[in-house]
Each structure stands twice: as structure tokens, then as C-alpha cells.
Amino acid sequence: MKTLGYAILGLLAREELSGYDLKRLMEGRVGYFWQAKHSQIYPELALLEEGGFARHRLVEQSGRPDKKVYGITEAGREALQEWLVEPVEKPPTRDELVLKAYSVWLADPGKAARVFRERQAEHEARLAEYLEIEVWMENNLGESLDDVGSPDFAGYASLRRGIAAEREYAGWCRWISEKLENARSDGELAEGQASGAEER
């Protein structure tokens, strides 16, 4: 089974969901660490069912299309539990922004700074969102956030990774942006590969 299968099982282990529900979850909060389009979700659900890891029932609705609501099976839960404790390969990183940083010596510092500032703002916005959720969780879920057997704890743990990652990335963007912006005003190190100047 591929990772997407386990991602779906992880959600179905918490509650019954339709393909459409899964799609929205993977666009939203869960999408921070795993996402998929509906074109991937529907076939994967079929595979999970074929393998006996999930099953569905039809729910008729008035005024809306009928939907297939999926639930995890005992076999699915077992497969998920086994996967959880298998060692993970550190996946290769591919970060286009760091790639740009590596060649930034060729760019006009002012223009380049804008690219990093934009990204910084995105990470800061995301961070603010996460911090709000964290506060909400700490106020409303209290006890269970310390219980490693609770889904609340698991969600909280994932969120903490999100918070740390966004903070770290934003910080790096700020650092490099400042460097680039200061260089722009510093006349001294003029001997430039950097082409245009068009300031104003």
C-alpha cells in the first residue's frame, strides 16, 4: 500500500468520511502535512476497499447527490498500526526558494529581497493561524493533550511541527531579506554581478 492509503486510513480511523470529505480535509488542516486531489482520492478509496481495509455504505440525500461514506475495517486498523511503527526514510528535500538563494549572488538584491519577503509573509500568516489553533486546543482539550492514546494529542503533535516549521522558515526568510536589503543601500560593495539598478 502506498502512503496516500495510510493517510486516508488515518482519517477514517477517527471518523467515517466520504471521498468529498477527504478531499476537503486534505485541502485544509490535514493538508499541511499531506494533501491529495479528488482525482487521487477516489481511486485510492476503491483500492482500499478492494484490499479489505475500508468499506462504504451509500447515504441517500435529498437535494444533494448521494454519497459513499467510508469507514475503516479491522484489517485496515491493523495495517495502519503496523505501518505506524515502521521506520521512515528521510525523503529528499526539493526547495525552489533555497535553490534561488544558492544563485542569489547573480540577482539584483532589491528584487530578490522581494521574493523572500513575500514568502516570509506567507509563513508568518500560516504561523499565526496555527498559533490560534494551538491556543484553542490548549484551552479546550486540556487533559487529552497529554494522553498519547488520544487523537487530540496526535493532532496537537502534528500542529506543533507545523508551528515550528513555519517559524523557522519565516525566520530564515527574514534573515536573508535583511541581508539583501542592506546590501542595496550599502554603496561600498558595488562591484556587482547584479545587473539592473533602476531604483525608483
List of residues contacting DNA (CB under 7 A): 2-4, 18-21, 23-24, 35-40, 42-43, 45-46, 61, 63-68, 92, 94
Among 15, 59, 75, 95, binds its own copies (CB under 8 A): 95
User: How far apart are alpha carbons 53 and 74 in whole angstroms?
Assistant: 7
Q: What is the DSSP string of 146-198?
A: G-TTSHHHHHHHHHHHHHHHHHHHHHHHHHHHHHHHHHHH--TT---S-----
Q: Which does residue 200 bind out of its own copies, DNA, none, counting CB within 5 to 8 angstroms by kind? A: none
CB 200 within 8 A of CB 139: no
99 sits near its own copies (criterion: CB under 8 A): yes
Nearer residue to DNA within complex by CB, 101 or 194? 101
Confirm if 194 and 106 have CB atoms less than 8 A apart. yes
The grid coordinates of residue 60 equal: 441517500
Taking CB under 8 A as the criterion, the residue among 122, 124, 129, 134 binding its own copies is 122
Pick 24 or 167: Cβ nearer its own copies:
167
For the bound state, the minimum distance from the C-beta of residue 10 to DNA, rounded and expressed in Å, comes to 14
Q: Is 136 in the site for its own copies (CB under 8 A)?
A: no
Nearer to DNA, 59 or 197 (CB): 59
Amino acid at residue number 160: R
- Interface with its own copies (CB under 8 A), residue from 17, 22, 104, 127: 104
Q: Which segments within 49-186 are labelled E, that is strand? A: 54-59, 67-72
Q: Which cell goes with 135? A: 491556543
Q: Closer to its own copies at the Cβ: 18 or 158?
A: 158
Of 4-12, 53-61, 63-71, 131-139, the window that binds its own copies (rule: CB under 8 A) is 4-12
Name residues contacting its own copies, limited to 37-76 (CB under 8 A): none
Residue 19 vs 109, nearer CB to its own copies: 109
Helices of type H across 33-150: 38-50, 74-84, 96-102, 109-140
Instruction: Show Cβ contacts of residue 33 under 8 Å, excluding neighbours closer than 6 positions.
Output: 158, 161, 162
